[in-house]
C-alpha cells in the first residue's frame, strides 16, 4: 500500500497541465499563469528566493522591487536582484534598496528572477515585488498598415484605440504599484522611527531619574555625622 502511494506522489495526476514552455503533446494545455504579479515576500537571513515568469518572444519584461523593511545588526536594506533568460544567461542585475530591471524578451520561455539576501546573515527582509511582461499589440513594421486600417475600417480603428488605452492603463497600474512600494517603505520607516524615539525617550528619562537619585544619595552621605560611642571627659 505504501509503495502505491509513493508511486502516485511521484507520477502525479495525469490531467495536470504542463508547465514547460514547449510541450511535445498538443492534447494538454500549456500553463503560463498571469502576465504580471505584485506582492510582498519575506526573505530569511542568508536565503535566496527565485521566481519564474513565462513570456513570449518580442515582449517587454519589467521587474521592479523595493526593500520595505530590514532587520539585523547593520539594518542594511541593500539586496541583490538578478534576471536571467530561459537559457540561464543573466540579463540584468541590481544591488540596492530599490531597483528596476527592464528588457525585451528575445525568446519564448520562463525567465528567472532571484533575490539574494546572503549578505545579511542575522536578519530578514520584507520586499515588495512587481514583475511581468506586456506586449505592444502591434509592431513597428505593421504600424503603417494599422494606420490605414484606422482610416478605412471603423472597427479596426476602435480595436487599435482600445489596445492603446489598455497599454496606457497598464502603465498607470505600474506607476500605482511604484507608489504602493514607496508608501509601504515609508510606513515601515515611520513606525521604526516612532519606536526608536519612544525607547530613546524612555531610556533618557530613566537615566535622568537615576542620576538625580544618585546625586541625592551622595549628597546625603556627605552630611551624615557619625556619633562617637566614647564618653567625653
The predicted-structure confidence for 95-140, as pLDDT tens digits, reads as follows 888 888 999 999 999 999 999 998 888 888 889 898 989 887 544 4
What whole-number distance in Å separates Cα of residue 128 and Cα of residue 184? 8
Its pTM stands at: 0.56
Instruction: Indicate if the pLDDT at residue 141 is higher than 60.
Output: no
Per-residue confidence band for 2, with pLDDT thresholds at 50, 70 and 90? very low
What whole-number distance in Å separates Cα of residue 183 and Cα of residue 137? 32
CB atoms inside a 10 Å sphere around CB 174: 17
> Phi, psi at residue 128, to the nearest 5°?
-100, 130
Share of the chain above pLDDT 90, in %: 18
Instruction: Indicate if the pLDDT at residue 4 is higher than 60.
Output: no
Structural domains in the chain (count)? 1
Does 67 fall in a domain? yes
Does 128 fall in a domain? yes
CB atoms inside a 10 Å sphere around CB 32: 14
Per-residue confidence band for 216, with pLDDT thresholds at 50, 70 and 90? confident
pLDDT tens digits, 23-60: 444 444 445 566 888 888 999 988 999 999 999 988 88
Does 69 fall in a domain? yes
| 3-state SS class at 53 | strand
Does 217 fall in a domain? no
Domain holding 124, by residue range, is 32-137
The enclosing domain of 125 has a CATH number of 2.60.120.380
Does 174 fall in a domain? no
What whole-number distance in Å separates Cα of residue 157 and Cα of residue 131? 30
Does 104 fall in a domain? yes
Task: Return the higher-pLDDT residue of 161 and 62.
Answer: 62
Does 211 fall in a domain? no
Does 8 fall in a domain? no
| 3-state SS class at 33 | coil
pLDDT tens digits, 166-200: 777 877 877 777 777 777 777 777 777 788 788 88
- What average pLDDT does the chain have? 75
Alpha helices in the chain (DSSP H): 2-11, 143-152, 154-222
| 3-state SS class at 42 | strand
Predicted local confidence at residue 149, as pLDDT: 55
Among 208, 219, 56, 25, residue whose Cα is nearest residue 134: 56
What whole-number distance in Å separates Cα of residue 125 and Cα of residue 71? 7
Amino acid at each position: 500500500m505504501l509503495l502505491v502511494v509513493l508511486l502516485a506522489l511521484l507520477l502525479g495526476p495525469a490531467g495536470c497541465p504542463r508547465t514547460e514552455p514547449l510541450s511535445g503533446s498538443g492534447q494538454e494545455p500549456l500553463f503560463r499563469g498571469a502576465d504580471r504579479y505584485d506582492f510582498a515576500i519575506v526573505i530569511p537571513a542568508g536565503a535566496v528566493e527565485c521566481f519564474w515568469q513565462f513570456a513570449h518572444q518580442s515582449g517587454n519584461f519589467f521587474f521592479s522591487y523595493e526593500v520595505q523593511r530590514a532587520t539585523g545588526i547593520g539594518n542594511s536594506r541593500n539586496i541583490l536582484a538578478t534576471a536571467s533568460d530561459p537559457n540561464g544567461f543573466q540579463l540584468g542585475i541590481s544591488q540596492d534598496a530599490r531597483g528596476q530591471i527592464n528588457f525585451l524578451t528575445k525568446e519564448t520561455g520562463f525567465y528567472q528572477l532571484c533575490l539574494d539576501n546572503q549578505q545579511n546573515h542575522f536578519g530578514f527582509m520584507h520586499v515588495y515585488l512587481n514583475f511581468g511582461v506586456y506586449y505592444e499589440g502591434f509592431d513597428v513594421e505593421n504600424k503603417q498598415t494599422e494606420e490605414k486600417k484606422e482610416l478605412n475600417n471603423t472597427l479596426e480603428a476602435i480595436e487599435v484605440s482600445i489596445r492603446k488605452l489598455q497599454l496606457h492603463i497598464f502603465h498607470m497600474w505600474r506607476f500605482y504599484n511604484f507608489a504602493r512600494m514607496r508608501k509601504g517603505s515609508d510606513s515601515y520607516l515611520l513606525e521604526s522611527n516612532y519606536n526608536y524615539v519612544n525607547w530613546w525617550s524612555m531610556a533618557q528619562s530613566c537615566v535622568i531619574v537615576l542620576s538625580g537619585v544618585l546625586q541625592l544619595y551622595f549628597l546625603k552621605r556627605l552630611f551624615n555625622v557619625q556619633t562617637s560611642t566614647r564618653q567625653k571627659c
